[in-house]
Structure 1
Amino acid sequence: MNLVTAAEMRRLEQEAAALGVSAAELMQRAGREVADKLAALLEPAAGKRVIVLVGPGNNGGDGLVAARHLKTAGALTDIYLLSPRGSDDIVLREAVTAGLSPLEARYDVGFERLRAALEEADVVLDAVFGTGLGRSISGAPAAALALVEEARNRRPEMTVVALDLPSGLDADTGAIDPSAVRADFTITLGYAKRGFFLFPGAGYTGEILVADIGLPEGSGAGLNTEVLDEHLILDLLPDRPADAHKGTFGKVLVAAGSPEYAGAAVLACQAAGRAGAGLVTLAAGKSLYPVLASRLTETTHLILPETADGGPAPGAAELIAGRLKEFSAAVIGPGLGQSPSAAAFTRALLAALSRPENRASGFAAVLDADALNILSAESDWWLKVDFPAVLTPHPGEMARLAGLAVPRVQSDRIELARRCAGLWRQVVVLKGAHTVIASSDGRAALAPNANPALATAGTGDVLAGIIGGLLAQGLAPFDAARAGVYIHAMAAESVRAALGDCGAVASDLLGHIPRSFKALKEHDHAACH
């Protein structure tokens, strides 16, 4: 699913017009498609009561066309005009000719007729404002939307469907007008809008259905923001040939863990193995070995010298550097801590990786957690990462890396991740609800899920390990990041289904990682038969 901004959608419509598909034709197609999808939701439409709230612009015009087709499908359809539409309005005239009798807010004292209609409605179709809204909602539209919210509170069985987007939702940023009403379904036109996957707007769309409005074939070729789905991810997954051996699937070096955060190393190593890496090697301090070895029975160990406080001793990075060419990928940072010795170790290891002669062909790394925090303390830190990498910051880490406040990071997650990926010349995975994956070439992808079960310590270590395991198997950084985020989200959905939103811990994800790969492949096999 590609995503668009309001400006991109306008451009696509203008391009369609240049190719001979007029705005009037797009409106007719949009209204018909909305009606068809809504009729399918009503199962059957005949006899169901639908009230269409019609605003002043094109969104209202789409609603009028939809109302006409809903009446044809047998729905008992009312039109409520929130502002006058001219006598030369073709779609209004067509609706009247089809036997619909619009109610007008300007003649409805106290909104009594709207109140009465809402008490009987099975569905409210919100066609008040679309992507062109550039002001706060007020007057009759604000009053009508408030009445819809009140009616649904009394009658939870009433369904609210948004046409294109819930009125008052900013298509680009996800910002919400105070008058906006949460939709149960959003039937969006042509393409889903970016604001659907940015909070708070993401909480207002309900289930998203995309209506084909007849844009010319290939018109979305220039779009560069997508929502991940199983078909895309299946195309990215590495092959698993029957004659493979462990070297076929790559070797991952994990530099992680400290006396305070030993569990991060366990989670990252196990996730890399569960994601299919052939061999995982943990580079960690000598004092941690007895604990970690008892938990990581399949992992090999590169035991590092330590300082008195348990941090990496001088020479630890050089010890790893001497063996870097053995590995096709690395995961650096989970649980390292930010002590002076950890910082010196991280800087030395990144410097070693930045020398091409030290690393294998095709090598790439995941930089996570404390590796990012240590880097962010240096000016122009990205110039010190001169090798292919996937950076996996949460919003706080992103704020430190970019020199911004966290609210600024969260206010425009997609564009910030895209801009930073270009500046830093790396793949950026901005974690959070609807995680954003951005490439230095301008492409961006979003995770389809927002799962509160992931809001617990250690889930980021699991994600870093999954991406590292996929890098080891030869996926390019952007592909490994997209596939890793999707598999991580699938595993989290499985945990949520089993345990609910509360009480899951990061290690619960591990067993669901290979099950997620299996489910994807089995679904693909079933689809082919």
Structure 2
Amino acid sequence: MMKLVTVAEMRAMEAEANARGVSYETMMERAGLGVARFVNENLYVGEDEKIAVGLVGSGNNGGDALVTLAALARMGWTVRAYLTSAPDRSHPLIKRLLDFDAELVEMAQDAEFSRLDGWLESAAVILDGVLGTGIHLPLRPETARLLGHVAEFDPPGTVVAVDCPSGVDCESGEMAEETIPADVTLCMDAVKVGLMRFPAYAAIGDLQVIDLELPEDLPTEQGLRRSVADYDMVGERLPVRALDAHKGSFGTVMAAVGSIPYTGAAYLAGMAAYRVGAGLVRMAVPGPLHAALAGKFPEATWLLLPHEMGVIAAAGAELLLKNLDRVTALLVGPGLGLEETTGEFLAHLLTGKSSKTARHPLGFGSAAQNHETAEHLAALPPLVMDADGLRLLAKMENWPARLPEGCILTPHAGEMAALTGLSVEEIQAERMAVAEKYAREWGQVVILKGALTVVAAPDGRVTVIPIATPALARAGTGDVLAGAAAGFRAQGLEAFDAAVCAAFIHGEAGLAASRTSAEASVVAGDLLPLIPAVMSLF
């Protein structure tokens, strides 16, 4: 798991570590050695091609880069340092490089960048250590000139950003237009929050973390609740599948989904639940959908609900509630439509009372009714709410009180706007903060879908899925995610873990789809056969 921190939190952790005996100099040595090891072990080049050029600023990132160059020199690399300021040849880091006969050039002595261009042409690796996490935009003119020149030059070697690409504001995610896009960003001990925001995310390339081996009980770190998902984090949370298991071992999903206009949503959600490992998927759909779906989806079992013109009717709730024995997750929403009768179906499902007999199915009701509703909600299986289910929910008075504990809500920005009253622009501008705030207020797990999906829990945990691909910007991909979340929930994962696993695997399937065909050609159904391929990597 990669920690996700603000710049202030990282500085506090470093100060606490320094006070505990891990000096700033030691942290710099560990950072530089970690970068060097990553480069030497992961960037495969021939022995005669091991040339590294470091763009070295005057701050801590520059120091990290100098340590890296010296460590690479010990590993047999030819190293060259391009310094933004005049070098102090008595400084220990500079002296160490000179001991390896490294070439050093000061930017002021290379006015037309002719020396730098020659170095960049032959370098297998370019280390970007010009600026660190504490910068404020705009850049100084001389720094902007250097970075802009290298970015325009587009060197053929691998660009490795030390902690962050120079020119990125690691708090806000804003970045200078001169920023050099990295192929790999190696963050020191934790990912900075700005890197998980646009436009910065588009410049970081592959993201890795260098462990600085700080003490494990630092006060600031103990309070951290944010993380960035990766394969290790998700793999630790996936359900164990015993050799003597049977289908009941992996739970049952009941999926109340679909309508005549959105028949495919039902299939996408139900099959995704199976693909992530659910033992049985029961499809609660309007009767007319059965003929269209059954032949394509023989693995499912069916509960045919009353309908009005092909959408689930209010009377369907009573039938559904009578068929929840042994159901371990209930998915509601994909493809339901927004008709009034379907809204009444949802209200009855959540209150246990038909709108024909309950005086206030969408309101507060009496104290006795509220008590009965609370008992009813406690008896419902774990619930995943998506798509039209969320829009119908948003129309209900005091809707957060209508949900059982442990729900997963899966809105995209538009649905989040309907639930919160915020504008889409406000939500997109502060995705992490919005997801965290409303997960706490609603007491439910929120998956705020989109580029860099955010998963937030009521207890303050927040995990960002570090994936953004246009391959997922297609109708139906959200149905796949909702089905995956229900599938993991059915297998017994707690709501937050189920949401993180589903969102990460869904995102990785989208990336896999974009590698096998043009991103513009990917459709939601392409994700389903790729989920097993992604899960095989754990």
TM-score (norm 1): 0.88
The code of the aligned residue for 2:16 comes to E
Counterparts of 2:290 and 2:306 in 1: how far apart (Å)?
11
Q: Does 1:485 align with 2:503?
A: yes
User: Contact 1:173–1:412 at 8 Å: present in 2 too?
Assistant: no
Structure 1 residues 293, 209: CA separation in 2 closer, same or farther (over 3 Å shift)?
closer
Counterparts of 2:198 and 2:338 in 1: how far apart (Å)?
31
User: Contact 2:62–2:129 at 8 Å: present in 1 too?
Assistant: yes
The code of the aligned residue for 1:287 comes to P
TM-score (norm 2): 0.86
Structure 1 residues 498, 44: CA separation in 2 closer, same or farther (over 3 Å shift)?
closer
Of 487-496 and 176-185, more deviation after overlay is shown by 487-496
What are the within-5 Å matches in structure 2 for residues 257-406 of structure 1? 257-307=258-308, 309-352=309-352, 355-358=373-376, 363-378=381-396, 380-406=398-424
Counterparts of 1:277 and 1:99 in 2: how far apart (Å)?
61
For 1:257-302, what per-residue CA distance to the aligned partner results, in whole angstroms no more than 9, with x for missing partners?
1121111112212222333333322222233333333433333333
What are the within-5 Å matches in structure 2 for residues 34-53 of structure 1? 34-40=35-41, 41=43, 43=45, 48-53=50-55
Q: Give the C-alpha shift of residue 7 in structure 1.
A: 1.9
User: Contact 1:53–1:79 at 8 Å: present in 2 too?
Assistant: yes
Q: Does 1:235 align with 2:253?
A: no
**Aligned residues, how many?**
516
Q: Give the C-alpha shift of residue 123 in structure 1.
A: 3.1
Out of 140, 143, 147, the residue aligned to residue 141 of structure 1 is: 143
Structure 1 residues 49, 508: CA separation in 2 closer, same or farther (over 3 Å shift)?
closer
Structure 2 match to 1:415: 433
User: Contact 1:173–1:411 at 8 Å: present in 2 too?
Assistant: no
The code of the aligned residue for 1:31 comes to G
Structure 1 residues 321, 61: CA separation in 2 closer, same or farther (over 3 Å shift)?
same
Structure 1 residues 27, 249: CA separation in 2 closer, same or farther (over 3 Å shift)?
closer
Out of 487, 491, 495, the residue aligned to residue 469 of structure 1 is: 487
User: Contact 1:46–1:73 at 8 Å: present in 2 too?
Assistant: no
Q: Give the C-alpha shift of residue 19 in structure 1.
A: 0.4
Q: Give the C-alpha shift of residue 163 in structure 1.
A: 1.1
3-state secondary structure, aligned to 1:124: strand
3-state secondary structure, aligned to 1:56: coil
Counterparts of 1:131 and 1:473 in 2: how far apart (Å)?
41
Structure 2 match to 1:194: 193
User: Contact 1:324–1:360 at 8 Å: present in 2 too?
Assistant: no
Structure 2 match to 1:527: none
3-state secondary structure, aligned to 1:28: helix
Counterparts of 2:305 and 2:435 in 1: how far apart (Å)?
35
Counterparts of 1:4 and 1:137 in 2: how far apart (Å)?
23
Structure 2 match to 1:224: 225
User: Contact 2:29–2:67 at 8 Å: present in 1 too?
Assistant: yes
Structure 1 residues 79, 513: CA separation in 2 closer, same or farther (over 3 Å shift)?
closer
Structure 1 residues 130, 465: CA separation in 2 closer, same or farther (over 3 Å shift)?
same
Counterparts of 1:476 and 1:454 in 2: how far apart (Å)?
26
3-state secondary structure, aligned to 1:186: strand
Structure 1 residues 238, 211: CA separation in 2 closer, same or farther (over 3 Å shift)?
closer
The code of the aligned residue for 1:328 comes to T
Q: Give the C-alpha shift of residue 380 in structure 1.
A: 4.5
User: Contact 1:351–1:385 at 8 Å: present in 2 too?
Assistant: no
Counterparts of 1:42 and 1:278 in 2: how far apart (Å)?
43
Structure 1 match to 2:78: 76
User: Contact 2:247–2:280 at 8 Å: present in 1 too?
Assistant: yes
User: Contact 2:457–2:496 at 8 Å: present in 1 too?
Assistant: yes
Structure 2 match to 1:456: 474
User: Contact 1:376–1:401 at 8 Å: present in 2 too?
Assistant: yes
Structure 2 match to 1:526: none
Q: What 5-or-longer segments of structure 1 have no aligned partner?
A: 524-529
Counterparts of 2:515 and 2:112 in 1: how far apart (Å)?
46
Of 96-105 and 433-442, more deviation after overlay is shown by 96-105
For 1:430-472, what per-residue CA distance to the aligned partner results, in whole angstroms no more than 9, with x for missing partners?
1223322211111122334334332222121112112112222
What's the Cα RMSD here? 2.9
The code of the aligned residue for 1:33 comes to G
What are the within-5 Å matches in structure 2 for residues 14-29 of structure 1? 14-29=15-30
User: Contact 2:255–2:332 at 8 Å: present in 1 too?
Assistant: yes
Q: Give the C-alpha shift of residue 166 in structure 1.
A: 0.4
3-state secondary structure, aligned to 1:298: coil
Q: Give the C-alpha shift of residue 337 in structure 1.
A: 0.9
Out of 123, 126, 136, the residue aligned to residue 124 of structure 1 is: 126
3-state secondary structure, aligned to 2:261: coil
User: Structure 1 vs Structure 2: percent identity of aligned residues?
Assistant: 41
